[in-house]
Amino acid sequence: MNPWIALVGGIVIGALTAYVLLRQSYAVRAASVATERDLLRERVVDLEASLAEDLETASLLAPLRDALGRVERQVGVLERDRVEQFGAIRAVMGRVESEAQELGRQTQSLAGSLRSSSVRGSWGEVQLRRVLEASGMLARCDFEEQVRARSRHDREVRPDVVVRLPGDRALVIDAKAPMSAFLDAQTEGIPEDERAELLGDHARALRQHVHALAAKDYWSAFDATPEMVVCFVPSDAMLAAALAADPGMHERAMASRVVLVGPGALLALLRTVAFGWQQDSLSTSARELLALGQELYRRLATLGTHTAKMGRSLHATVESYNQFVGALESRVLVTARRMQDLEIVTDDLPALGPLETGPRVLTAIELLEAVSAEDTRRELLLDALPRGDGEAEATSAHRAG
């Protein structure tokens, strides 16, 4: 066989084989591409649907996005304000801390000062004066401070305040209550048993002070004074602590004629005293008003008597005038008119008439009673006089009337 024919035949057979293989490969690849195309088309449809849903959701969430933007801006402003406020608060807290430290030092200094009897007495007197001012007694000066007097044992006493009561009475008040142990009990950090012991010492010191006040016998040094003395404790807490440590102290003090009071109880007591002064002042004013009313009534009665006399005089004057006009008309003007008839004069004489209006008569019963009493007194006086003197008195009264 010719080798060229074999070569050509091999080439043709190889080409056919390659064509068949390529065709099969193309068919497989075309099927795969179609499958991928279908998958991509479905994915595109899904993406379009998802995008449409996302767009719809985005349109629905647009107001929320705007609101979140506004909230974010407000949060930024609030955060900035918070930082500024925290800075201001930090500065204020620093000042408060320094002031608290200073107040603590001053409190310790005050507590140390109050342990002195002279300073303690001055503070009690200041507190007492404040209570007196709050009770409304300062305006009328119904109390005296540091009054010196002598008791029935010829012993000089000088109470802190003497309150003046209505009816020239007095109430004695002392303001030098002990408080050193109470102040020691207020120290921070001390054990409770030590605090209780200090409060017991405070109660014993106040009890001794009550005995000292009872021994001074203040009420015998002032006239018309209740047989008691008021022991003023400058703080209700001090009095409550002492009574808690010694519940029977109040009864024993009252048995010794000493009344324990704090600022609240003393204010109520002084308000009662001030009310008594007010009622006494009103009673005095009422008595003065009654006297003025009685005097005014008597003077009105006298004025009514004079008015009645004036009315009678006016009435008599009107009657005299009318009599004068009658005599003038009947006796004088008749002759004067004859002169006019004789043509001696040409002018007409004016016409004169009587007065018809008289003085108004008194009608008030009080004034009539005063006039009647005056007339009765005058008649009795005329009856008591001799006849000649009576006639002269009557003539004088008639002329006065």
The three-state (H, E, C) secondary structure of 66-99, written as one string? HHHHHHHHHHHHHHHHHHHHHHHHHHHHHHHHHH
Domain identity same for 237 and 317: no
Domain identity same for 191 and 312: no
On the question of pLDDT at 389 being above 60, the answer is: no
Asked, for residue 1, whether it belongs to a domain, the answer is no
Query: Which of 90, 113, 136 is the last residue in one of the domains?
Result: 113
Give residue-wise pLDDT tens across range 36-67. Answer: 878 888 887 888 788 777 777 777 767 777 77
Domain identity same for 306 and 392: yes
For the residues of 118-134, what is the DSSP string, one character each?
A: HHHHHHHHHHHHHHHHH
| pLDDT of res. 183 | 74
Give me the domain span that covers residue 84: 71-113
Query: Which of 91, 113, 135 is the last residue in one of the domains?
Result: 113
Higher-confidence position of 36 and 107: 36
Domain identity same for 147 and 92: no
Q: For the residues 347-358, what does the mean pLDDT come to? A: 64
Query: Which of 261, 278, 305 is the last residue in one of the domains?
Result: 261
Domain identity same for 137 and 227: yes
Asked, for residue 16, whether it belongs to a domain, the answer is no
3-state helix, strand, coil in the chain (%, to 5): 75, 5, 20
Query: Which segments within 134-197 are labelled E, that is strand?
Result: 143-145, 149-150, 156-157, 161-165, 169-174
Domain identity same for 155 and 250: yes
Q: What is the pTM of this model?
A: 0.42
Asked, for residue 186, whether it belongs to a domain, the answer is yes
Asked, for residue 5, whether it belongs to a domain, the answer is no
Residues 182/244, Cβ–Cβ less than 8 Å: no
Domain identity same for 188 and 222: yes
Q: DSSP 3-state assignment of 340?
A: helix
Helix (H) or strand (E) holding 335: helix 333-341
Give residue-wise pLDDT tens across range 166-185. Answer: 666 677 878 777 777 877 77
Domain identity same for 147 and 248: yes
Query: Which segments within 175-295 are labelled E, that is strand?
Result: 229-232, 258-261
Domain identity same for 353 and 316: yes
Q: Half-sphere exposure of 20 toward its Cβ, with a 13 Å CA cutoff?
A: 6
Domain identity same for 322 and 373: yes
Distance CA 177, CA 199 (A): 14
Higher-confidence position of 188 and 393: 188
Asked, for residue 78, whether it belongs to a domain, the answer is yes
Rounded to the nearest 10°, the torsion over CA 300, 301, 305, 311 is 50
Domain identity same for 126 and 83: no
Give, in degrees to the nearest 5, the angle at Cα 217 between 212 and 218.
105
How far from the centroid of its chain's Cα atoms is residue 219's Cα?
37
| pLDDT of res. 198 | 84
Domain identity same for 240 and 298: no
Q: How many structural domains is the chain composed of?
A: 3
- Tell me how many helices (H) and strands (E) the chain has: 10, 7
Residues 6+ apart with CB under 8 A from 301: 366, 367, 369, 370, 373
- The pLDDT mean for the chain works out to 71
